[in-house]
Amino acid sequence: MNKNLRFLPKNGLKDLFDGLLSDGKVFGTIKKDGFPAFAELSAFKELELFLTPTHISAKGVIFPPRETLLKFNIEKNDCTAVISAEKQAIIGLHPCDIRAITLLDSVFSAGAPDANYLARRASTLIIGASCVPDKYCFCKSLGTLNIENGFDIFLHTSASGFIVETGTEAGATALAKYAKTRNPTAKELGKMEAFKKQRYASFTAAVECEPSKLPEIYSKSNDSPVWDTIGSICTGCGSCNNVCPTCYCFDVKDEMTINLNQGERVRYWDACTLEDFAKVAGGHNFRKSRGERLKHRFNRKFNYLTDKFGSLFCVGCGRCSRTCLVKINITEITNELIHEYKSKK
């Protein structure tokens, strides 16, 4: 038996939550407007662990949509970096979202490390939880259904509680400090495995090739009619970027006070599907059409970043398909490109 596995009764989760809340901020899954969502929590009763995915990921907890990077004073010739990193925990992350955070860790650690992201990430405890797919989930076919790292604590669904797996020393310390656990019984371990098998068999969406083949397939798809087809219906709203747990592009702006003497340098999320994203001086745009912008976004998930980071940047969460206003489905588009690729061979 894995020495990191312990049994946590359902009422023990409250003890863990209350302990973490006494230590810092806690974010977790709630129901908002009838849908699963992540939010900052002030009491355990607000937490509702969902088996199905949230519509928006928890990315904003460690990479905020708007963030002050520095403050400056022109009169005093002064500039001060702003790095905020309060102690916090996120409860209820599914395996695909945990995988997404490990990818963001790689991005913000590469080159010139991003001090703001890394400080916040180091102060964040990651607590995962079991999931089941809806019709948009395709993590199984991308190999992100199960994870072995990237979390501090993981809550596996069992009979009358959770089989708890600790992935880091910080997770083991928090669990021992705030909750009472015991060794799981054979029956409880069996319930966990039965749940995993049921979950594995319940997927309906899948990419129809090995994930390792996708970079080559996408590299051969530049002239595919697929891009004009989906470009003709895309509204260019940027929703797919905003809900994606691995999109990390941002813009940086200086915001001045009315006297033009003080200001803040602020970064905002940006989106490659927006018209102005690739626009440069003189009004020139490297990706003028929505089809070109969608082609770029899909390649960012399945092709462009694999050389640098050794991984696809799609984790199969299905959020872009789930929230698209015109029902552009990333799995269906990818499978269409796979069929085109095979027909040319």
CA distance 178 to 16: 5
Over range 18-38, report the average pLDDT.
94
Report residue 328 as tokens.
Answer: 């552009």
Give the ranges where 65-210 is alpha helix by DSSP (H).
95-109, 115-122, 139-142, 169-178, 186-201
Of residues 22 and 344, the one with the higher pLDDT is 22
- Contact between 150 and 90 (Cβ < 8 Å): no
- Crossing angle of helices 95-109 and 115-122, in 10° steps, is 140
Give pLDDT, residue 220.
96
190: Cα within 13 Å, side-chain hemisphere: 3
The pLDDT of residue 283 is above 90 = no
Give pLDDT, residue 4.
76
Give the model's confidence band at 105: pLDDT under 50 very low, under 70 low, under 90 confident, else very high.
very high
Average pLDDT, the chain: 95
Instruction: Give the position of tokens 């969902």.
Output: 50
Give the model confidence (pLDDT) of 117-148 as tens digits. Answer: 999 999 999 999 999 999 999 999 999 999 99
Give the model's confidence band at 35: pLDDT under 50 very low, under 70 low, under 90 confident, else very high.
confident
Give pLDDT, residue 58.
96
Domain ranges of the chain: 5-201, 211-344
User: What percentage of residues in the chain have a pLDDT greater than 90?
Assistant: 93
CB atoms within 10 A of CB 233: 13
User: φ, ψ for residue 35 (rounded to 5)?
Assistant: -125, 150
Give the model confidence (pLDDT) of 231-253 as tens digits. Answer: 999 999 999 999 999 999 999 99
The pLDDT of residue 160 is above 90 = no
Q: How far is CA 330 from CA 49, 148, 220, 270, in A?
A: 26, 26, 17, 20
Give the model confidence (pLDDT) of 44-54 as tens digits. Answer: 999 999 899 99
Give the model's confidence band at 1: pLDDT under 50 very low, under 70 low, under 90 confident, else very high.
very low
CA distance 321 to 327: 6
